[in-house]
Structure 1
Amino acid sequence: MNIHVAERSTAPMSPHQSSRPEAGQPVTRNADAHHELSIRVRDLNLWYGQSQALKNINIDVYQKNITALIGPSGCGKSTFLRCLNRMNDLIPNVRLEGLVEMDGLDVNAAKMDEVALRRRVGMVFQKPNPFPKSIYDNVVYAPRMHDLVSRKADQDELVEKALRDAGLWEEVKDKLQQPGTSLSGGQQQRLCIARAIAVQPDVILMDEPTSALDPISTATIEDLMDKLKQQFTIITVTHNMQQAARVADYTAFFHLGEIIEYNDTRTMFANPATKKAEDYITGRYG
């Protein structure tokens, strides 16, 4: 499989980047002096009961960039994503060790307000899941819950801005009171993105956001992601290698619960440092 990396600006290489590692040693980036850190993860391990799903995860995620998580099904990508907003807390018998920091704050600290955390870390799921409410109420629901807006004029302004930022306003501005579920699949996913950004999070997590969409809707979401990274840090899970090459500034390759390689996307796809990453990217397995 030939992977084409679209012409786009990419972050400079870290001065600490290694070439071919020793066998079994993951390749990761150190903090890049040209980009500010958004999320810092150190020695992260997670178990579902007795089964270990994440093993010694170390990664720095940079502000206002798109980071793609790639790897075979069941390798820990979505589990890692849920560590960033503590959604794994909702799963019985989960045990976690290690550090997840966001802007210097320990995400897993006992004093961390989980509701406030999930305001800062929005999430868009694989299958569009609008609330059983109007388009308008889908967008304004969370800002109301967090007491971000109260006056009707402010709510109207917020809804329009979020829908514009999600590239949906022109398509729905005359039917805001219709159910969100009445929209097409691609429109529903953009509504979910509008809902996520309405509370102005710092980070947006996307778990295979286009896997259930047609190619045209997929292209629309990808273009939208490229615009949204001007405002937000985006971390996305994808099984589509061409998509990772098109949209991501950085890419992390997961395998059996470990990060095998993490680099700027152009370098990883053009010259992967590990044989496992090369085999996966080129379609030899996965």
Structure 2
Amino acid sequence: MNSQVPEMSKQQASAVGQPFTRNDDACHDLSIRVRDLNLWYGKAQALNGLNIDLYQKNVTALIGPSGCGKSTFLRCLNRMNDLIPSVRIEGLVEMDGRDVNAAKMDEVALRRRVGMVFQKPNPFPKSIFENVAYAPRMHDIVSRKGEQEELVEKALRDAGLWNEVKDKLHEPGTSLSGGQQQRLCIARAIAVQPDVILMDEPTSALDPISTATIEDLMDKLKKQFTIITVTHNMQQAARVADYTAFFHLGEIIEYNDTKTLFSNPATKKAEDYITGRYG
């Protein structure tokens, strides 16, 4: 067992948001710490006492049946639930020792550090170039035209899209195929140099070839970024994730390194879901 996790039972480890076994090849530096997180939509509680530690430069997959709280939890990490008037949140979501829900937290700065890629590609109604350059320019990351061009090329290269679009940068982003649009959205997210990228079922609307391209991209991007992704695809989670958290009815039932969770789940609920007995 890794030295960062003291001797503890599986039950104790789960209670403090730690996987009770570790992927020795993965980074174990903490990115986001969540403790006793509860969320309500009006009077209906959607998240119930969540505890989890999310690690830097890994892919963490959130799995579980529809409506179990995965996407709601994801949106807690960059305060996108603040945009829903009926939402009430209690508990701690912490980055770098700071509670992201604190009144003094700059939400714009937070969302720069914790980017989001949605289920359906949503490029801006602008050129491919402007889709990538706009936010860095607004955040004063770049100003001069040469800096913008350099940043756009790097982001598009990192997103695996440069060679496909380098000769049509001033065409609309919406002119690209669905898979290309999603990679453009990833380029847009990484252009502002975030620490974390949230992905909410990023391949569910894509064909198998585009899905494989995005999965390969996730594997490359985790060398630079922490990636947290929601997926309903068990095979995808097994392929891309270093860690996997199984959600059910607003709770985290089990959290472990992916290989262990899929090969030897500790709970009957997780085993039943992974083996397809419900979902």
Question: Quick check: 1:121 aligned with 2:110?
Answer: no
State which drifts further: 273-282 or 30-39: 30-39
Unaligned runs of 5+ in 1: 1-10
Tell me which residue corresponds to 1:29: 18
**Corresponding residue pairs, total:** 273
Whole-angstrom CA distance in 2 between matches of 1:275 and 1:16: 24
1:27–1:111 CA distance, 2 compared to 1 (3 A): closer
| Higher RCO (Cα < 8 Å, 6 or more apart) | 1
Question: Quick check: 1:202 aligned with 2:202?
Answer: no
User: Superposed, which structure 2 residues align to 1:76-155 within 5 Å?
Assistant: 76-155=69-148
Tell me which residue corresponds to 2:150: 157
Tell me which residue corresponds to 2:40: 47
Q: Which amino acid aligns with 2:175?
A: S
User: Superposed, which structure 2 residues align to 1:211-226 within 5 Å?
Assistant: 211-226=204-219
Unaligned runs of 5+ in 2: none
1:92 to partner: Cα distance: 1.2
Question: Quick check: 1:235 aligned with 2:224?
Answer: no
Corresponding residue to 1:38 among 26, 31, 44: 31
TM-score by length of 2: 0.94
Tell me which residue corresponds to 1:168: 161
Q: Which amino acid aligns with 1:29?
A: Q
Tell me which residue corresponds to 1:74: 67
Q: What is the percent sequence identity of the aligned residues? A: 84
1:18 to partner: Cα distance: 4.0
1:35 to partner: Cα distance: 1.1
Whole-angstrom CA distance in 1 between matches of 2:86 and 2:46: 12
Q: Which amino acid aligns with 1:78?
A: S
1:122–1:12 CA distance, 2 compared to 1 (3 A): farther
Would you say the 8 A contact 1:54–1:257 is kept in 2? yes
Whole-angstrom CA distance in 1 between matches of 2:121 and 2:53: 29
Would you say the 8 A contact 2:153–2:162 is kept in 1? yes
Would you say the 8 A contact 2:15–2:51 is kept in 1? no
1:254–1:16 CA distance, 2 compared to 1 (3 A): farther
Whole-angstrom CA distance in 2 between matches of 1:26 and 1:184: 44
Would you say the 8 A contact 1:204–1:234 is kept in 2? yes
1:207–1:187 CA distance, 2 compared to 1 (3 A): same
Q: Which amino acid aligns with 1:100?
A: V
Question: Quick check: 1:58 aligned with 2:47?
Answer: no
Q: Which amino acid aligns with 2:172?
A: P
Question: Quick check: 1:271 aligned with 2:264?
Answer: yes
Tell me which residue corresponds to 2:255: 262
1:154 to partner: Cα distance: 0.2
TM-score by length of 1: 0.91
Question: Quick check: 1:182 aligned with 2:144?
Answer: no
